[in-house]
């Protein structure tokens, strides 16, 4: 079983963020559909990192003032969730996830030659995607709400899809 020190827990940012890539930007009158991929490569296999600043950047680049923002992990061994950016809470979440789907178990998935059975199970414990409201050009969250990327099979390049849809001024 892993210890919380085996996890990258960052309440402030995304160590390993590589770049954002605009995939599409469509406008029809006041309506906008804007899609970007965020490219990350976390330096540890497991991590819970704050993605909020990067998602806010996509919302800003979209020009949407009222609409929705969809965020998807795009990988079956990762997740996206909303919670508080408090370091003790990140430790608690990592410990809880590890207790429910521990590393090193003899998972049937490992008979295929893979070693990430726990990562597939861990991804069930966090959402694969989320939808957030955009109001006045900003994510419309409660005081402590932040968007987190949960990585369960890292140390390799991954993409996160962010799609913002709505109205411009």
Position 104 scores a pLDDT of 87
Domains identified in the chain, total number:
1
Query: What pTM, to 2 d.p., does this model score?
Result: 0.95
Whether the pLDDT of residue 4 is over 90: the answer is no
Query: Three-state SS for 116?
Result: coil
Sequence-distant (6+) residues with CB within 8 A of 82 are: 130, 132, 141, 145, 146, 147, 148
Range of the structural domain that residue 76 is part of = 4-167
**Residue 103 maps to which CATH number?**
2.60.120.460
For 93-127, write each residue's pLDDT tens digit.
Answer: 999 999 999 998 889 999 999 999 999 999 999 99
pLDDT tens-digit profile of 16-51? 999 999 999 999 999 999 999 999 999 999 999 999
d(CA 80, CA 116): 18
- Mean per-residue pLDDT for 58-68? 98
Closest by alpha carbon to 11, among 46, 40, 53, 44? 53
């Amino acid at each position: 079983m892993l210890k919380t020190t085996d996890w990258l827990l960052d309440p402030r940012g995304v160590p390993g963020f590589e770049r954002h890539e605009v995939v599409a930007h469509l406008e029809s009158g006041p309506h906008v559909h804007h899609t970007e991929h965020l490219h990350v490569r976390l330096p540890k296999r497991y991590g819970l990192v704050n993605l909020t600043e990067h998602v806010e950047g996509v919302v800003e680049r979209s020009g949407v003032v009222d609409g929705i923002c969809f965020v998807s992990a795009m990988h079956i061994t990762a997740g996206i969730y909303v919670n508080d950016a408090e370091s003790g809470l990140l430790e608690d979440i990592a410990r809880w996830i590890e207790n429910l789907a521990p590393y090193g178990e003899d998972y049937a998935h490992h008979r295929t030659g893979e070693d990430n059975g726990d990562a597939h199970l861990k991804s069930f414990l966090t959402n694969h995607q989320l939808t957030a409201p955009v109001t006045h050009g900003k994510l419309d969250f409660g005081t402590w709400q932040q968007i987190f990327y949960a990585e369960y099979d890292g140390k390799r390049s991954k993409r996160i899809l962010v799609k913002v849809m709505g109205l411009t001024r």
